[in-house]
Amino acid sequence: MKTLPPGQRRVDGFPRFGTHLHRPPPPVPADPVIALSGAVRRRPEVRLAELSQLPRREIVADFHCVAGWTATDLRWEGVRFADFYRLFVEPALEPDTTVTHLAFEGLDEVASVVELRDALADDVLLADQLNGRPLAGDHGAPIRLICPTQYGYMSTKHLCLIEVCSTLPVHRLGAGIIDRLIEGHPRARVWHEERHARIAGRLVRPFYRALIRPIRYLCSKGAQDT
């Protein structure tokens, strides 16, 4: 049997999960783009159709939710984020800029902050297909970030904006009580159990698992209300 990272349990299927499940997935724009902001000379928008310039890549990887479940052997297809970065981001950088972090934001306004070294890993994708089919709304249509070695909260769905940062973008970090309770680790590596920024992973496991039931309830309620 496959060995899973510490504190993870295998689940059947691949459930929609997250903190915004009381709302339906955002509609897909007619002409989707990924906008760039932050430490760039201009603010270009990359149309998803332009990704055809890049080689396609397919990976089979597990998806690890910080709440403690793992969906195994998912087949993602898209383009390597490292290739996207070199073709579209690097030419737009401000001169002499040292990039340290990238903030990824989705059409649902959920964001993640990823260190550049992690974002440029060979297995990080901008994925537009899952298990041989175009992404559905539940899993990030029209395109999402996939970071297989990090917890799922790093893999931003419905990607529409990348902010290029030369320091940790503090304005992206939530300031409320709930934000602090679920404050993500800056690297979120699953095999190191980096679940939380301030609390050891093994200690925070029960808290995250306790969130599964109310979040699933919000998901089902949101589906009934639409």
**Higher per-residue pLDDT: 207 or 224:** 207
Average pLDDT, the chain: 86
Secondary-structure class of domain 9-18+29-168+184-225 per CATH: alpha beta
* Three-state secondary-structure class, residue 141: coil
* Mean pLDDT of all residues in 35-42: 93
Pairing of strands 144-146, 9-10: unpaired
What type of residue sits at position 165? C
Extents of the domains making up the chain:
9-18+29-168+184-225
Note whether 82 and 122 are within 8 A (CB): yes
- Which of helix, strand or coil describes residue 183? coil
> Residue 121 CB: number of other CB atoms within 10 A?
15
State the average pLDDT over residues 39-49: 91
More confident residue, 124 or 66: 124
For the entire predicted model, the pTM comes to 0.87
Evaluate if residue 57 carries a pLDDT over 80: yes
In tens, the pLDDT along 21-31 reads 567 889 999 99
Task: Evaluate if residue 56 carries a pLDDT over 90.
Answer: yes
Confidence of residue 226 (pLDDT cuts 50, 70, 90): very low
As a whole number of angstroms, the distance between CA 204 and CA 129 comes to 32
Q: Indicate if the pLDDT at residue 1 is higher than 90.
A: no
Give per-residue pLDDT as tens, 167-207.
Answer: 988 765 554 444 555 667 889 999 999 987 777 767 777 77
The number of helix segments (H) and strand segments (E) in the chain equals 4, 11
